[in-house]
Structure 1
Amino acid sequence: MPRKKMEEEDIQANLLPVMNIMFLLIPALLMAMEFASMASINVSPPKFAAAAQQKDEEQKKDEKPLNLKVFVMEDGFRVSADGQQEGAEAGKSQDSKAPTIGLAKQGAPLNDYERYDYAQLEAKAKGYKQLFPNEAVVTISAEANIPMQSIIMTMDALAGRTCKIAKALKGEQLPDDCYFWQPIVEGGAG
């Protein structure tokens, strides 16, 4: 049997089903965008004003920096300021790994985010803020097994749980209930 030569036929693509799907998908996606909630964190560079900046620099030259650091551990918070752990007295040796603020719930598992005493941490932050009113930066680090939610709640306590800085970012005065609202999260610090 002789082979027949393959005849080339023009194949026409049927685009109607694809167009129908697109016709239905576009309104569905537009409707989904209406109901999808978007969250964002506003980040803006620092605002500079020449006169205010010079005045602030003169005040800051007189002050020694606080260098507030909070380390989140399994058994509480270790707070240190200006390189000294809070509670360490001169001449006495103290365990540098001991927590400054203990747990609110002893024996609670790590995934119980209320196990830490956030109220006492916030009170410490308020005390430091009264001593250093121009400071807003705190360095936070944690042990490797601490849940992220605990670190976030620590940041909230250090900033002040009722602190709202939206108006301050637009140029208004920072509220008095805002303590250390510029956290720096370090990894692997101890």
Structure 2
Amino acid sequence: MIRKKRKFEEEEIVADLLPVMNVMLLMVPLLLQAMEYATLASVNVAPPRFSAASSDAKPDDPNKEKPLNLKVMVLEDGFRISADAQQEGAEAGKATDSRAPTIPLAKPGTPLDDYDRYDYAALEQRVKNYKEMFPNETTVTISAEANIPMQTLIHTMDTLAGRECKLARALKGEAIPADCYFWQPIVEAGAG
């Protein structure tokens, strides 16, 4: 005698959620406890500042210090630094290549996402020199070419702020430490 097979047999499947619930019950306290020990870091970022010139503007006070207007562009071939609308290294009356980096790569030929590719030590030394000349300045404008990794931009911001800069106490009202240089970055779109 030949038995015919049924095409579809419906069975009720019971999902056993007890093991999953047990794991979740154990993970919630562990994650909460881990958050107590996790350290969080923040990068202070300010929006660009705009001002409207009034028609009754008074001439600038000659005793007032001109702003630095420090700008750092992250390029594929290094950093380009400009201050007060002049590219660093440019001499008056001489034409320079405005696309050339001020600080060339530390290790040319390495991949874009390699930390050692850029010369962060040279950048920090230049920034330190600017901070000595302009001790009251804290802002810097940063831009990067489109293919620069975000991590490189973060390392650049950390370098511009000062690698040893700790602002936790300063944000609570204490004086800003001397090893904090330009810790208020303004990020612009695209390197110009």
Alignment TM-score, normalising by the size of structure 2: 0.73
What is the CA–CA distance in structure 2 between the aligned matches of 1:149 and 1:131, rounded to whole Å? 29
Structure 2 match to 1:173: 175
Pairing 1:31–2:30 present: yes
Q: 2 CA distance for matches of 1:152 and 1:92?
A: 34
CA distance change for structure 1 residues 99 and 34 in 2, over 3 Å: closer, same or farther?
A: same
In structure 1, the partner of 2:119 is 117
Counterpart among 135, 138, 142 of residue 136 in structure 1:
138
Pairing 1:1-190 to 2, within 5 Å after superposition: 25-26=24-25, 28-36=27-35, 37=38, 39=40, 41=42, 62-190=64-192
RMSD: 2.4
With a CA cutoff of 8 Å and minimum separation of 6, indicate the structure with the bigger relative contact order: 2
Residue 73 (structure 1) shift: 0.3
Letter of the aligned partner of 2:112 in structure 1?
L
Seen in structure 2, the aligned counterparts of structure 1 residues 26 and 95 have a Cα distance that, compared at 3 Å, is same
**C-alpha distance 133-93 of structure 1, shift in aligned 2 (>3 A):** same
Count, aligned residues: 158
> What CA deviation, in whole Å up to 9, does each residue of 1:120-169 have, x standing for no partner?
10011011001110000001100011111111111111111111111111
Structure 2: unaligned runs, 5 residues or longer:
1-15, 47-62
Distance 2:144 2:43 in 1: 25
Please give the TM-score of this superposition, normalised by the length of structure 1: 0.74
1:185, distance to aligned residue in structure 2 (A) = 1.2
Partners of 1:173 and 1:66 lie apart in 2 by 21
Q: What code does the residue aligned with 1:34 have?
A: Q
Q: Call closer, same or farther: CA 1:82–1:169 in 2, change over 3 Å.
A: same
The CA deviation at 1:64 is 0.5
> Against the structure 1 CA distance between its residues 38 and 22, is the aligned structure 2 distance closer, same or farther, given a 3 Å change threshold?
farther
Matched-pair identity in %: 61
Cα displacement string for residues 13-62 of structure 1 (whole angstroms, at most 9, x for unaligned residues): xxxx879976874454233322344736387x9xxxxxxxxxxxxxxx71
Residues 101 and 24 (structure 1), Cα distance of their counterparts in 2 relative to 1, 3 Å cut: closer
If each structure's helix is expressed as a fraction of its own residues, which one has the higher value? 1
